[in-house]
Chains A and B, each alone.
Chain A
């Protein structure tokens, strides 16, 4: 606290990363923003006004947010219990869980897509199980549906939910749970009043990771759902690659950027506040 206002030389260690990001990311981003606003020669908000006055744009924004939210929720529901188990596990069990989580990251999305086709098609594993246990009356195709997209994307992103939650859970003093138990708290009460609130910073970080990746994914929707379903990211790609419409592409890219930055900044602020309480 007493150091407030004084420059900490350790901060200089961030300079290489900042320079690198500015060069390969920040400057091109500014160029992009410039292209979308300077299309007519003079700075203008016309591209944005045009974009937001088109009903289809709102469908695309809705698609983007809906898919990102569903993927994030699915990752949270699958990831939290996994993180809990991982934090509790010791030795070989812990190593095996960690390998199971991290190893799939080394398998490319294209390879995964073939696996998904086996799992998600009409005579695929999911369909057979669901009809087998009687939840579905007849086999259904998940491939090229939003549900299939959410399942596939969550499969790719779930490690990014598990790892931040695990790293926070691991740091919680196990005596806190024991203290709660000896005070008369049942296991369920202990979870909701001790472990869960103390792990909130990890949850918030995981949400920020997964949401921003799910909102901006391009390859996965292309492989799992195709052109009929557009998100801000796929629309940006189409604008540049197929429609040769740089202005639309830069506009959608900026909208997507604002959306994910808003979520990441909000969650970082939330995390800081929650972290301050723990």
Chain B
């Protein structure tokens, strides 16, 4: 499955003095759903445009289904795009929009109508076939855009933040719908988003992008539980982060001195290394006695329904947060609580270079 159906190698792109894409490699299998996740300006949309053929990389290659398509124009790539603003043709009806790609490819007339019916049905927009695009809501336009992109039977479907303009409820419904539709059609897809929840919910694998590079490519669980870099730790999910210095190292174990106290972890660093310690909030127990223990003063508690998120006063350059089903009894701002977690749940990274 993870063979190179789509393979991007060494893709680089600069605009003037700005390096937007800094040598990106990405390989994905047929039928796979990969999200490119990162903040705005990380290069994810540039990478998508290069794969679509809407932009040519300065360096690197793009191959799809065994063919080098690096310099092939977009209309001969078999790569459909669902754009952020939908980009539906305003002068055409819903059905004409869905039929556009088939007509452009010179499909037989009697093959077009059944395909339009099929894909409008798939996105539950059959009742709107004759409507004008302008008469549709944002969510409906989104469905038509997906049907239009899928109707040509593309080898690869690219989605550029397609749900960012929708309200939260509709967005979540569309995420589930899109997954169902892509499963039914069996389409290989790349999904660009800056929304980590969206990426975690929908993807087979996630590529976390930062400053024109892919920092980590892995399953949502891998990304969440074993983030490869401090950026992945910080961008995906919440975490406690404490800067420190390795004071002892032996047998794959290190002892780290932090402002909150000594912390032990499984890692290989030479003594004296500046490091960053990370822990996911749900791994931290309150008032128990696990291997790594610190004491911290409660600063703020955010009620989130099923859980309460607890923020603690943290040493410079760090943050401490934990989660609990309910607010601990008699706890208020300033209350000092015992926080502890297992050695196995302790993540250690080389201290991020703040200047970079």
Contacts and interface: CB of A to CB of B under 8 A. Distances in A.
Interface in A154-183: 173, 175-176, 178-183
A106 interface: no
Contacts of A272: none
A134 B119 CA distance: 57
A189 B91 CA distance: 15
B52 interface: yes
Interface string A252-278: 000000000000000000000000011
A154 to B, nearest CB: 29
Contact of A189 (B74, B83, B104, B152): B104
A192 to B, nearest CB: 11
Interface string B60-79: 00000000000001111111
Q: Which of A176, A181, A189, A190 is packed against the most chain B CB atoms within 10 Å?
A: A181
Contacts of B152: 183-184
A197 B104 contact: no
Contacts of A173: 85, 87
B74 A178 contact: yes
B81 A184 contact: no
B54 A181 contact: yes
B104 A184 contact: yes
Contacts of B54: 178, 181-182
Interface residues of B, number: 29
B75 A184 contact: yes
Nearest to B54: A178
Given A178-B54, A178-B87, A186 B75 contact: yes
B276 to A, nearest CB: 41
B148 A277 contact: no
A198 interface: yes
A197 B105 CA distance: 19
Interface in B139-156: 148-149, 152
B148 A183 contact: yes
Given A175-B85, A198-B91, A182 B104 contact: no
B87 A175 contact: yes
A180 B90 CA distance: 12
B241 interface: no
A101 interface: no
B52 A183 contact: no
A85 interface: no
A89 to B, nearest CB: 19
Interface in B43-99: 52-54, 73-81, 83, 85, 87-91
Given A198-B91, A277-B91, A182 B80 contact: yes
A270 to B, nearest CB: 14
A267 to B, nearest CB: 18
A180 B104 contact: yes
Chain A interface: which size bin? 20 to 34
A183 B85 contact: no
B318 to A, nearest CB: 43
Contacts of B80: 182-183
B89 A182 contact: no
B87 A179 contact: yes
A114 to B, nearest CB: 45
Contacts of B212: none
Nearest to A181: B74
A183 B104 contact: yes
A183 B83 contact: no
A4 B76 CA distance: 49
Contact of A182 (B79, B85, B88, B103): B79
A179 B90 contact: no
B349 interface: no
Interface string A145-161: 00000000000000000
Nearest to A183: B101
Nearest to B90: A278
B231 interface: no
Given A184-B104, A277-B90, 4 more contacts: A179-B83, A179-B88, A182-B79, A185-B104
Interface of A: 173, 175-176, 178-187, 189-190, 193-194, 197-198, 277-278
Q: What 5 pairs across the A-B complex have the smallest Cβ distances? A: A183-B101, A185-B104, A175-B87, A179-B87, A181-B74
